[in-house]
A and B are shown apart, each in its own frame.
Chain A
Amino acid sequence: MTELQRVAEYLVEKGKKRGADQAEVFIKSGEQTTVKVFRNEVELFTKAGSCGAGIRVFKDGKLGYAYSTMLERQALDNLVDAALENSGFSQADRYMGLPETVLSEKDTRATSLLAPGFDRISSAEKIDFATTMEKTALEADKAVILCEDTLYTDGKEHVLLLNSNGFSGEYVNGACFAYTSVLAGKNDDVMSGFAIRSGRAMTELDPLEIGAEAAQQAVMLLGAESVKPQRTTVVFDPVVFVEIMMSMSPAFSAEAVQKGRSFLAGHRGKQVAAGHVSIIDDGRMPGGLGTTPFDDEGVKTQQTTLIERGVLSGLLYNSYSARKDKARSTGNASRVSYKTPPGTSPTNLFIEPGATSKEDVIRDVSEGVYVISVQGLHAGVNAVTGQFSVGAGGMLIKDGLLDRPVREITIASTLPDLLKNITVIGDDLTFLSMGINIGSPTVAIEGIMVGGR
Chain B
Amino acid sequence: MIKEEVAKSSLDAVLIKGGDFADIFAEERETTQISLEDGKIESFTSGIDTGAGLRVISADSTFFTYTESLKDESIMKSAAELAEAFKDRTPSSQEQRIISLKKSHPPVTHKVLVSPASVDRGKKADILKRADKEARTVSPHVKQVTVSLNDIIQRVSIVNSEGLFAQDVRVLTRLFVHVVAVKDDVTKTGYEAPGIAGGYELFDEEGPEGIARKAAERAITMLDAKPAPSGEMPVVLASGTSGVLFHEACGHGLEADAVRKGASVFAGKESRLIAAEIVSAADDPTAPNRWGSFSFDDEGTPAAMNVLIENGVMKSLMYDRLSAFQLKAKPTSNGRRQSFRFIPQPRMTNTFIMPGNDKKKDMFEGIEKGLYAVSLGGGEVNPATGDFVFGVTEGYLIENGQVKNPVEGAVLIGNGPRILLDIDRIAGDLKFDTGMCGKGGQSVPAGTGQPTMRIKRLTVGGTGS
Contact = CB atoms under 8 A, between A and B. Distances in A.
Nearest to A417: B463
A389 B391 CA distance: 8
Interface stretch (A39-47, A209-217, A269-277, A297-305): A39-47
A218 to B, nearest CB: 10
Given A41-B59, A89-B44, 8 more contacts: A69-B69, A90-B125, A146-B261, A259-B37, A260-B180, A376-B389, A380-B391, A385-B188
A452 B459 contact: yes
Interface in A366-413: 375-380, 382, 384-391, 393, 407-413
A451 B462 contact: yes
A1 interface: no
A263 interface: yes
Contacts of A90: 34, 40-44, 125
Given A45-B61, A45-B85, A378-B378, A453 B232 contact: yes
Contacts of A260: 143-144, 180, 182
A145 B64 CA distance: 28
B48 A70 contact: yes
Interface stretch (B95-103, B210-218, B271-279, B408-416): B408-416
Contacts of A157: none
B462 A384 contact: no
Interface stretch (A2-10, A48-56, A101-109, A437-445): A48-56
Interface in B33-62: 33-34, 37-38, 40-51, 59-62
A38 interface: yes
Given A50-B341, A183-B263, A412-B230, A93 B462 contact: no
B42 A412 contact: no
A387 B465 CA distance: 17
Interface in B370-413: 376-382, 384-385, 387-391, 393, 408-411, 413
B183 to A, nearest CB: 12
Contacts of A229: 230-231, 465
Given A45-B63, A379-B377, A75 B48 contact: yes
A34 B281 CA distance: 35
B68 A261 contact: no
B43 A63 contact: yes
Interface in B70-88: 78, 85, 88
Given A66-B47, A229-B230, A449-B230, A89 B68 contact: no
A285 interface: no
B411 A391 contact: yes
12 contacts: A63-B42, A69-B69, A89-B121, A146-B261, A190-B384, A341-B43, A375-B389, A380-B389, A384-B187, A389-B391, A389-B462, A408-B414
Given A44-B64, A263-B187, A226 B459 contact: yes
Interface of A: 38, 41-48, 50-52, 54, 63-70, 75, 82, 85-91, 93, 123-124, 145-146, 148-149, 181, 183, 190-192, 226, 229, 259-261, 263, 339-341, 375-380, 382, 384-391, 393, 407-413, 449-453
Interface residues of B, number: 83
A379 B37 contact: no
A451 B38 contact: no
Contacts of B440: 149
Majority SS at the chain A contact face? strand
Contact of A259 (B144, B261, B381): B144
Nearest to A408: B413
B411 A390 contact: yes
B101 to A, nearest CB: 24
B389 A391 contact: yes
A87 B64 CA distance: 38
A376 B391 contact: yes
A148 B263 contact: yes
A375 B387 contact: yes
Contacts of A52: 49, 68
B187 A86 contact: no
Nearest to A50: B68
Contacts of B376: 379
The 8 A-B residue pairs with the shortest CB-CB distance, nearest first, are: A410-B461, A451-B461, A391-B389, A379-B391, A376-B389, A451-B230, A379-B377, A86-B44
A226 B295 CA distance: 45
Interface of B: 33-34, 37-38, 40-51, 59-69, 78, 85, 88-89, 121-122, 124-125, 143-144, 146, 180, 182, 187-189, 228, 230-232, 258, 261-263, 265, 341, 343, 376-382, 384-385, 387-391, 393, 408-411, 413-415, 440, 459-463, 465
A145 B261 CA distance: 11
Q: Decide if the interface of chain B is mainly helix, strand, loop or mixed.
A: strand
Contacts of B40: 90-91, 93
A76 to B, nearest CB: 11
A409 B461 CA distance: 8
Contacts of A43: 60-62
A148 B384 contact: yes
A48 B341 contact: yes
Given A38-B60, A45-B64, A340 B411 contact: no
A50 B391 CA distance: 37
A395 to B, nearest CB: 16
A315 B34 CA distance: 26
A266 to B, nearest CB: 10
A41 B61 contact: yes
Contacts of A409: 413, 461
A199 B42 CA distance: 36
Contact of B413 (A75, A149, A410, A413): A410
Contact of A453 (B46, B143, B408, B459): B459
Given A91-B40, A259-B37, A376 B390 contact: yes
A51 B231 CA distance: 51
Contacts of A385: 187-189
B464 to A, nearest CB: 8
A261 B44 contact: no
B304 to A, nearest CB: 27
Contacts of A124: 88
A86 B45 CA distance: 7
A449 B68 contact: no
A68 B50 CA distance: 8
B89 A45 contact: yes
B139 to A, nearest CB: 15
A87 B376 CA distance: 36
Q: Which of B261, B343, B409 is the most central at the interface, judged by chain A CB atoms within 10 Å of its CB?
A: B409
Contacts of B410: 389
Given A45-B62, A385-B187, A89 B45 contact: no
Nearest to B458: A453
From B40, B43, B69, B144, residue with most partner A Cβ within 10 Å: B43
B43 A46 contact: no
Contacts of A88: 121
A2 B248 CA distance: 47
B411 A86 contact: no
Contacts of B65: 46-48
Contact of B461 (A82, A389, A407): A389
